[in-house]
Amino acid sequence: MNWKKLTAESQLETLVEESREHPVLIFKHSTRCSISATSLARLERNWKESEVGDTVPYYLDLIANRAVSGQIASQFDVPHQSPQVLVISKGECIYDASHFEISFDDIRQQLSGINVG
């Protein structure tokens, strides 16, 4: 995966605008959590660029960037979880999952409902 690092609250405005052109995925990762590490590794192992179109994946180290994580929860009206994945399309969170519910197949299915490519 070609992650873009999400490190500042100011990036969220850019991310929202970007999501109007193509879907954006945010992976909120706790570097201190084995479940988070497992979920991240599983997503990276199964990620297939050819099946997600032009979806852009963002990676958030939420230990180092707690304020950004809080802003994501508030802005997209989702409870804070770790690990957590969100799919943003046209400025809205259309899907979120956490812990071992994070699945490339589920993400791909959500993306198939919108125009990716």
| Whether pLDDT at 6 is above 60 | yes
User: 63 in a domain, yes or no?
Assistant: yes
Is residue 1 very low, low, confident or very high in pLDDT (cuts 50, 70, 90)? confident
Report the distance separating Cα 88 and Cα 96, nearest Å.
9
Residues with Cβ < 8 Å from 32, sequence gap 6 or more? Answer: 63
Residue in the block written with tokens 């899907």: 95
- Provide the b/e sequence for 64-81 (b: ≥16 CB within 10 Å): ebeebbebbbebbebeeb
User: 117 in a domain, yes or no?
Assistant: no
61-101 pLDDT, tens digit each: 999 999 999 999 999 999 999 999 999 999 999 999 999 99
Residue 115 is predicted with a pLDDT of 56
| Whether pLDDT at 117 is above 60 | no
Residue 76: give the domain boundaries: 4-112
Domain count, the chain: 1
| Whether pLDDT at 116 is above 90 | no
31-68 pLDDT, tens digit each: 999 999 999 999 999 999 999 989 999 999 999 999 99
Residue 114 is predicted with a pLDDT of 77
User: 59 in a domain, yes or no?
Assistant: yes
Residue 59 is predicted with a pLDDT of 97
> What does the chain come to in residues?
117
Residue 112 is predicted with a pLDDT of 86
| CATH number of the domain residue 80 falls in | 3.40.30.10
